[in-house]
Each structure stands twice: as C-alpha cells, then as structure tokens.
Amino acid sequence: MSAAPPYAGLKVLDLSQGIAGPYCAALLAQQGADVIKVEPPGGDWIRNAGGGHEGMTPLAIAGNLGKRSIVVDAQKPAGRDLILRMAARAEVVIENNRPGVIERLGLGYGAVAASNPAVIYVSITGFGPDGPDAQKAGTDSILQSLTGMAHRNRDPDGTPRRMPLLIPDTVTAVYAAQAVGAALYARGRDGKGRHLKLSLFESAAAFQAAQIVENRIFAGAAPPPNTVPAGVFRTRDGHLSLSAVTEGHFRAAMRVLGLEAWIDDPRFATPAERKKHAAFVNEEVGRRLAEQTTAHWVEKLGAADALFAEIADYPAYVDSAQAKHLGVFASLAQPPYGELPVPRMPGADHSWALRPAPHAGENGEEILRELGLDDAAIAELKASATIRS
C-alpha cells in the first residue's frame, strides 16, 4: 500500500520569486504540502522569462507545481497585514529577496516569528546575508561565472562557457528543501522554530565539492582524467558517449573497435598507464568510431556490454522505454497547454497527486475566505488594489 505524502497538511507560505525559492516550495508541494504562493501585482517575474502564454512560462510551471496563488501588494499596509496573517498560520515561510528587502517590507523573520515562534523561515539570497558581495544581484549566469562553473566548462580553446541549465538556482532549491526537512525534524524534537539562511554562492560550492578539492590537490594544474577512454565522440552520422570505468568496460570496447592488441599492451594494461596516454587513446577511439554509424556501434557495443550511450534529445529521453517503465514523467493537464510531460520528483510515490501550476492570483478569493474574510472585506481589498486577480 502506498503511503500518504510525508508533508500532507504542512502549510507553506511562498513569498519568493524566480527559481530557487519557488522550486524549493514546489518540491514541498509535490510531497503533499499546502503551498500558498504570494505574488506581487505584476506577478512573479519568472512569468515573463522565456516564451509562453498567460504568464505560464516553462520556468513558471516547473517552479510552481501544486501551489495556490494569490496576488497581494505588500507595499500597502493592508497587503502587508494580510501576508502576516497568512504567515501566522504557516509552518514554513520561504523568501528570496536581497538582504534587507523583506525586513523593510515588515515581513522578515522577526516580524513573522513574533506571532509564530515555531515557524521554519527560509531566506535564500545570491551571496549570503552580509559581506562585501551581499547586495549583488545573484542570477544564474553571474553565479556560474563567479563560482568556477564557467571556468570548469571551458571550450577546447580555453573559452569559459556557461552551462545552459540553471544549476546554481536548482541545486540551491534542493539544498533548501533538504534543510527544511531537517529543521522540521529538529522542531519535532525541541519544538523550536528556525531561521534558515542559504545562498546560491554557498550552494554552488557544495555542488562542486569534489572538483574544488581536486583543484587544490593538483595545485590548479589539469588533473588526470577519471577514465580512459572517455568522451563524446563523432560517429559517421552522429555522436556517441563512450567510457571505461572498469577493466571489463575497457576490454569490451577495445574488442568491438578492433583494438584487441591494446588489452595486453603495457602502455594500456592498467588505468594508471592509460591515463599517461589519454590523448592518444581518445584520438584513436574517435577515429574508429567515426568509421561507422551510431546504429552500428549501438548494436555492437551493446552486445559487448561496453559502457556507452547514444546522445539523446529531450523527446527521446521522455519517450525512452526506461523512462516509461519507471514512470519518470507524468502527463499533467497544465493550463493553457493541455497535457505536458512533467518529471515526477525522485522518490515520490506515483499515487501522490501531481497538481498543475496556478496562474497568478488564481486562488486569491479561496485563500482569503480560509483566513475568514467575507465578501465585503474581499471587495474592499480589491477596490484598494491590495489584491488582484
């Protein structure tokens, strides 16, 4: 029998925008939490980042699955008071403003904890709560540049490259969700709330721990490759990834490529020796792979149980037999697009409901009525533009 989602009944107030904070809250929502997303009058800025319709960009969808949305003008006293009322009922509050911004709005940890001392309050910043860079804007491209990621991902000619994935934001969201789980566990033991402070700057370090240690061990010089051969190689009509983590992988690949003599060649007999000749090995492997089609090598390398993979695009990934077997992607009815393939959260039971992301302000009246506001009070908030649809 499947278990109920672990965060069923957990009330989360999401005051964040963009990616790191919203995606953290979305991870909690996918585990059963009741997440209320509070957006400013113009909506979360991520609703205008990238293409899409009705403010439902791909990033807005992925970062807000399963939430309910209300639009509140926190600059107005009535709007601030409304948010504080919601925060008083929440077990977790998430924000990701620059240091000092949320406090100037009267919605910082101190203001929330005054009426809700057991709250788990999460503050996500680009560079931390203080220090010489604390007030810098912390976008993904900036963080990839400053934390070694772009340098690590250099072109063959040495030009640094930003990876076209939102890595600092995404890993920060995952670390934040883990920190929330740990804080909830601790609160269950001591009853105390906590103010959790995370930054993209620190999360980028944690994500690259092995590479940073490696850099220090090898004094900044190029470290030896992990395995040989290894890389993405051209075939006659495409590309193929080939590696050799074990001796079995190496022998299998050499036999398929017609390089059986290398198996007993002293230059390639051990991983340590192969690393000394990595450039030569990879060059010859690449030359051999370029002689035949990808389909040819997939058949031959697969039969030999070599360590390889085709280079798949997203449609191929979504439609792969393994993804379908594992139920990696759910078919989600997401307005205004209809059915979309959305990845399930790893570890989630497939019986847990995966709910679509809301439009900005879609659930405003429903949320206000849960706070006890009647028709007249809601009409007054609308008339003053404190709340909006």
**Does 111 score more than 90 pLDDT?**
yes
Stretch 68-75: mean pLDDT: 98
How much is the pLDDT for 389? 77
Stretch 261-283: mean pLDDT: 95
With 0-12 CB in 10 A as exposed, 13-18 as middle and 19+ as buried, what is 92?
A: buried
Of 94, 71, 12, which is closest to residue 359 (Cα–Cα)?
Answer: 71
Single-letter residue type at 286: G
**277-312, pLDDT tens digit by residue?**
999 999 999 999 999 999 999 999 999 999 999 999
**Does 262 score more than 80 pLDDT?**
yes
Structural tokens at position 352: 């847990």
Stretch 331-343: mean pLDDT: 97
d(CA 313, CA 380): 51
d(CA 378, CA 369): 8
Band of pLDDT at residue 2, cut at 50, 70 and 90: low
Q: Give the rounded distance of the alpha carbon of 302 from its chain centre.
A: 32
**350-386, pLDDT tens digit by residue?**
999 899 999 999 999 999 999 999 999 999 999 999 9
Q: Give the rounded distance of the alpha carbon of 59 from its chain centre.
A: 11
**What single-letter DSSP state applies at residue 122?**
E
How much is the pLDDT for 26? 98
**225-236, pLDDT tens digit by residue?**
999 999 999 999
How much is the pLDDT for 3? 82
Set out the domains of the chain in order of their start, with CATH numbers: 11-210+327-388 (3.40.50.10540), 230-316 (3.30.1540.10)
**Does 14 score more than 70 pLDDT?**
yes
Q: Give the rounded distance of the alpha carbon of 77 from its chain centre.
A: 34
Long-range contacts of 204-212 (CB under 8 A, 24+ apart): 204/143, 204/144, 204/147, 204/148, 204/149, 204/167, 204/168, 204/171, 205/147, 206/171, 206/175, 207/167, 207/168, 207/171, 208/147, 208/148, 208/149, 208/152, 211/148, 211/152, 212/148
How much is the pLDDT for 224? 87
Name the pairing type of β-strands 307-310 and 239-243: antiparallel
Average pLDDT over the chain, rounded to an integer:
96
Q: Write down the residue that tokens 């940073």 correspond to.
A: 212
d(CA 313, CA 311): 7
CB of 311 within 8 A of CB of 232?
yes
Number of other CB atoms surrounding residue 272 within 10 Å: 9
- H or E element at residue 102: helix 101-104
Stretch 226-254: mean pLDDT: 96
How much is the pLDDT for 277? 95
Residue 125, classed as helix, strand or coil, is strand
Stretch 53-77: mean pLDDT: 97
d(CA 51, CA 55): 9
**What single-letter DSSP state applies at residue 47?**
G
Q: Say how many CA atoms lie within 13 Å of 109 toward its Cβ.
A: 18
d(CA 83, CA 72): 8
**143-179, pLDDT tens digit by residue?**
999 999 999 999 989 999 999 999 999 999 999 999 9
Q: Is 377 left (phi over 0), alpha (psi -120 to 50) or beta?
A: alpha
Dihedral sign for Cα atoms in the order 170, 388, 13, 367: negative
**41-52, pLDDT tens digit by residue?**
999 999 999 899
Model confidence, pTM: 0.94
